[in-house]
Amino acid sequence: MTLCETNINENKSSTTTNPSSSSSLKWISQPFFHNSDQGKDTKNCFLCTAPHSEFKCSWCQSIYYCSKEHYSHHRVNSKCFPFQRVQKGLETTRNVRKGELLFKETSILSSPDLHSLPTCPVCLKRILSEKRSTSCAQGCPLRLCNGPCARMTREHGPECKILKDNKVKLDFKDYQTPMSINSVITVLRLMESKKKRPSDWKEFLDPNSIHMEERKKAKGEWEFLQKEVVNYIRNRLFMASDVGDEELHLLIGKESQY
């Protein structure tokens, strides 16, 4: 999961656009319907049909996807869509050259997806087995990719000290089962970002834009996140005085939009 700030710039960034005429860009949103049954019985990505897609939706268990970007079109606002409803893009108002840089995004943070399979908290690649991973050099219970990831403390910092100080232990025997600790990592990083940049997050966490009332109606998922993420952070990590239930659900809701 990556949250981004967006700046349109004709000279910096990259995206695929449709050529037109004039000198600016505009957002477009067009209906786009795609039945997800295409990826249900095969390991083809439900959206682009890329073969041998290794990721499967851990919520509905009905589709495969090749990337986080494509998965974001399947699961929106805590709902798994049976088809792709809306696709957004950019349209230029002038002719552009192939390979021309048009668009720039600045990442606010990157983190594992909520309720995802074992993932390196630094590079966000899947961890497939104990032999292909290593322990954190700082002593926290997370496993990271072999090589430089274990020594990269900046990307892994927000959750590393908290998990270590609270003597959290994790079971990595099964590398094919989603781990709720990834949801905790994501929320801890969101909390850290909010702490460092409070002015940016005031509008970002508008309850209306996150559709909190609609999310509460999905009782099974709401109760799961309350137990595995909200209660875990406030009680197991002893952060009840730092953050309340409502704010944590707002952060989870914001993540689920990406």
Would the pLDDT of 67 be above 60? yes
pLDDT tens-digit series, residues 122-172:
999 999 888 889 988 888 999 998 878 877 777 788 899 999 999 999 988
Mean pLDDT of 106-127: 86
Which residues are CB-contacts of 214 (< 8 A; sequence separation ≥ 6)? Answer: 77, 78
Would the pLDDT of 191 be above 50? yes
Phi and psi for 219 in degrees, rounded to 5? -60, -40
| Residue 11's pLDDT band (cuts 50, 70, 90) | very low
Would the pLDDT of 73 be above 90? no
Mean pLDDT of 247-257: 83
| Residue 90's pLDDT band (cuts 50, 70, 90) | low
Question: In the chain, what are the domain boundaries?
Answer: 2-92, 111-256
pLDDT tens-digit series, residues 213-244:
888 888 888 999 999 999 999 999 999 999 99
Mean pLDDT of 99-119: 81
Q: To the nearest whole percent, how much of the chain has pLDDT over 90?
A: 23
| Residue 79's pLDDT band (cuts 50, 70, 90) | confident
Mean pLDDT over each residue of the chain, to the nearest integer:
76
| Residue 27's pLDDT band (cuts 50, 70, 90) | very low
The better pLDDT of the pair 253, 228 is held by 228
